[in-house]
Amino acid sequence: MANPLYDTLFGRHAGSDAPFLILPDDSEMSYDAFLALSARIAGHLTASGLKPGDRLAAQIAKSPEALALYAACAQAGVVFLPLNTAYTATELEYFIENSGASMVVCDPAGREAMEGIASGQGARVETLGTDGGGSLMDGAKGQPDSFETAARSEDDLAALLYTSGTTGRSKGAMLSQKNLLSNAEVLVREWRFNADDVLLHCLPIFHTHGLFVATNVTLMAGGAMIFLPKFDQDAVMQHLPRATAMMGVPTFYTRLLDDPRFDKAATKHMRLFTSGSAPLLAETHDKFRARTGHAILERYGMTETNMNTSNPYDGDRRAGTVGFPLPGVELKVTDPETGKELPQGEVGQLEVRGDNVFQGYWQMPEKTAEELREDGFFITGDLGLIDARGYVQIVGRGKDLIISGGYNIYPKEIELVLDEQPGVLESAVIGVPHPDFGETVVGVLVPEPGKTPDADAIMAAASEALARFKHPRKLIVLDELPRNTMGKVQKNVLREKYGDLFASA
Ligand code: MCA
Ligand code: AMP
């Protein structure tokens, strides 16, 4: 029985004793051991009543078992829904309810809270701890090391990844097996991954970057990953000698550049550093090159589309650009008003089409229709141009989005929380430059007449409702928000006014 995702990424490694995961203590897990682990988990999922097409939501720390849960879902035909470990109970409730998940896997410490959330829809709760303990693995222990792979086709859903929305409501991006496989295939080729590669993996595995770009590419190439629980400079320096490649967000690279140990000698054996999820400053690219001799390869993608463009492996990796459309991906620049294609060199909205583009938003046909055209082009919400040499440059965003340390934050979601607070008439949330996170969140508040909002109480309310990375790092109180003649808040004016708040942070 065929299951393209499982067969192509995982199943083909059956019986291989080549290393797949290299763990922080330098111990190794072979492909075969990893497949046995995931087969046992798949057995447990099925024994628990999960069927192909059911959704499994997971908010769990990064570990080999957590990654094996992704493989188990692929093998059992279950749709994998990974969730940021920073999300609060309030945020989780929406994802679990909206996706109609049949099973939720969480950290043992969060079991009670999760049961409160999941019970409303009859979802089963299992636990998986950082050390691999918990009810999921207890259940898996009793299962055999092999599992009969569920039949799936390439158009079946593989994963549901929630992206925040401009209206404050998150949308579940439906990613098919084909979306994931076509992209992994093209990236392996374009970036020359092979079975000798050892990828230094310190990204989280609940987003496209760490889960699909890094992991699927390694699996498809048959290489190994040094699988670190998170980005930590000392751990990176310790494990770098064994790596051949590293993928990161710009914050990884600015932090490494602050470390005097990170130099030519430490990186001379490396064959590739890639960057994405947020803009890499040309200054960072240049500094990195001067320090190490390596030109970081910048690429551009989205949750909805996987990777769209990449700088070339051979040839000029140009700072400040995201390179060329990947083979099989069509990219055009259009007029945001008319949707007509613009000539080369003009700035417009970026639209992409190809096997990489998702199937739409989960149970949101209107939202899907707003962004995914009938002819298959997806309107990314990013603004850019194609330069004279064919390189794509992203020059801004048509969407109101902040990217902090590679995490997307939609201001609307925070404004909704701020607006509810006592003494607050209205608010505007903006992103301003930050030396470590690239951008960070600032909340601008207008008090109700005669009231003085209590900043501490507001921050406490934000902590309750929102993940830590979304919290405003500063609150500013103004008598009124700048507006244009149409009454629309001029966030650009605010961004300019407060642009250097963190300049010396
Ligand atoms: C952690 N904090 C953050 C962030 N991360 N605040 C703002 N933005 C963040 N990204 C909070 C922590 O909770 C902590 O709060 C404080 O900031 C400082 O913690 P620190 O120790 O510096 O954090 P960290 O653990 O070092 O995390 C920073 C990080 C991490 C390493 C940059 O955020 C990270 O790994 N980012 C990668 C994100 C990513 O993979 N994005 C891909 C999605 P307190 O004040 O309480 O101490 S986008 C994608 O997939 C698309 C498709 C694409 O193109 O790739
Ligand atoms: P996400 O919704 O988390 O998938 O984030 C996708 C968004 O990240 C894109 O729409 C871009 O705005 C941004 N992004 C990803 N890669 C890059 C890059 N290399 N340069 C600039 N922005 C990027």
Model confidence pLDDT, tens digit, residues 213-269 = 999 999 999 999 999 999 999 999 999 999 999 999 999 999 999 999 999 999 999
Q: Output the six-digit token pair for 256.
A: 């490494």
| Secondary structure class of 289 (helix, strand, coil) | helix
Mutate which of 170, 227, 231, 394 for ligand 1? The one with the most ligand atoms within 8 Å of its CB, which is 231
206 vs 91: CA distance, rounded Å: 15
Q: Which ligand is nearest to the CA of 183?
A: 1
Residue 401 CB less than 6 A away from ligand 1:
no
Q: Cα angle vertex 103, ends 100, 105, to 5°? A: 125
Cβ–Cβ < 8 Å for 224, 365 = no
Pick out the chain residues at pLDDT < 70: 1, 165-168, 505
Q: Cα angle vertex 196, ends 307, 181, to 5°? A: 30
The pLDDT assigned to 505 comes to 60
Closest CA to 333 of 308, 367, 311, 356: 308
Distance from the alpha carbon of residue 300 to the mean position of ligand 2, in angstroms: 6
Domain 198-397: which CATH number of 3.40.50.12780, 3.90.105.20, 3.40.30.10, 3.30.9.100: 3.40.50.12780
Which atom number of ligand 1 is nearest to the Cα of residue 249? 37
Three-state secondary structure readout of 69-106 = HHHHHHHHCCEEEECCCCCCHHHHHHHHHHHCCCEEEE
Q: Which residue do the tokens 């700048």 mark?
A: 482
Distance from the alpha carbon of residue 390 to the mean position of ligand 1, in angstroms: 32
Q: Which residues of 474-497 are buried (b: 16+ CB within 10 A; e: fewer)?
A: ebbeeeebbeeeeeebebeebbee
The pLDDT assigned to 168 comes to 66
373 vs 360: CA distance, rounded Å: 10
Residue 164 CB less than 6 A away from ligand 1:
no
The pLDDT assigned to 127 comes to 98
Residue 210 CB less than 6 A away from ligand 1:
yes
Distance from the alpha carbon of residue 460 to the mean position of ligand 2, in angstroms: 30
Q: pTM, whole model, 2 decimals?
A: 0.97
161 vs 179: CA distance, rounded Å: 13
Residue 82 CB less than 6 A away from ligand 1:
no
Distance from the alpha carbon of residue 245 to the mean position of ligand 2, in angstroms: 21
Handedness of CA 503, 274, 35, 174 (dihedral sign): positive
User: Where do the H-state alpha helices sit in 352-454?
Assistant: 365-371, 411-419
331 vs 329: CA distance, rounded Å: 6
The pLDDT assigned to 435 comes to 96
The identity of residue 220, as a single letter, is M
Handedness of CA 289, 245, 402, 432 (dihedral sign): negative
Q: Which CATH class is domain 4-11+31-152?
A: alpha beta
Question: Which DSSP category does 171 fall into?
Answer: E
The pLDDT assigned to 120 comes to 87
Which atom number of ligand 2 is nearest to the Cα of residue 407? 3
Q: Which CATH class is domain 401-498?
A: alpha beta
Residues 6 or more apart in contact with residue 254 via CB below 8 angstroms? 284, 435, 436
Helix, strand and coil in the chain, % to nearest 5:
35, 25, 40
Mutate which of 437, 463, 470 for ligand 1? The one with the most ligand atoms within 8 Å of its CB, which is 437
Region(s) of the chain under CATH 3.30.300.30? 401-498
The set of protein residues with a Cβ atom below 6 angstroms from ligand 2 is 163, 208, 276-279, 298, 300-303, 322, 380-382, 394, 397, 403, 408
Distance from the alpha carbon of residue 419 to the mean position of ligand 2, in angstroms: 28
The pLDDT assigned to 373 comes to 97
What's the burial of 247, exposed, middle or buried (CB within 10 Å: 0-12/13-18/19+)? buried
Cβ–Cβ < 8 Å for 151, 74 = no
> CA-CA distances (angstroms) from residue 147 to 81, 136, 159, 202, 222?
21, 16, 20, 30, 21
Strand segments (E) across 93-170: 103-106, 124-127, 157-163
Residues 6 or more apart in contact with residue 45 via CB below 8 angstroms? 56, 72, 73, 76, 78, 103
Which atom number of ligand 2 is nearest to the Cα of residue 208? 4
Backbone angles phi, psi at 91, to 5 degrees: -70, -40
Question: Which DSSP category does 212 fall into?
Answer: I
The pLDDT assigned to 1 comes to 56
